[in-house]
Amino acid sequence: MAQTPEVKVKHAVRTILDEHGVYYFCPPANGYGRQGIPDIICCLDGHFIAIECKAGKGVTTVLQEREIAKIRKAHGTAWVINETNVGQLKDWLMKIEDLYGKLF
């Protein structure tokens, strides 16, 4: 079975998270939880990170934007990752490690 472009992005993100020892989980999108929750929920050095994975010209939905805004308002980090910026994820994680890792 061929992987969709979004599945490839999710796989790349999870690989990077594993390399950095980031705790994460992927909430099931089965209709029982709140809609719009990002694809991957993480914690790194005590900092909350949410990642929404998109592929191609995929754009976030209104519900996803609402959840991302709530996360940012609560001083968490929320990113939308796609094929063009997945490489920057390592840099972003290292910045969080440098900033928050010194606190713990």
Between β-strands 23-25 and 47-53, what pairing exists: parallel, antiparallel or unpaired? unpaired
The residue segments making up the domain with residue 97 are 5-101
Q: Look at residue 26 in the predicted model and tell me its pLDDT.
A: 95
Q: Look at residue 103 in the predicted model and tell me its pLDDT.
A: 56
Q: Dihedral through CA 41, CA 89, CA 59, CA 55, nearest 10?
A: -100
DSSP 8-state secondary structure symbol assigned to residue 86: G
Instruction: For residue 31, give both structure tokens.
Output: 């209709």
Q: What is the mean pLDDT of each run of 10 residues along the chain (104 residues)?
A: 85 95 91 89 94 92 97 97 93 86 61
pTM score of the predicted model: 0.90
* CATH, residue 94: 3.40.1350.10
Q: Look at residue 100 in the predicted model and tell me its pLDDT.
A: 74
Number of domains in the chain: 1
Q: Look at residue 29 in the predicted model and tell me its pLDDT.
A: 78
Cα–Cα distance measured from residue 101 to residue 95, given in angstroms and rounded to the nearest whole number: 9
Q: Look at residue 82 in the predicted model and tell me its pLDDT.
A: 94
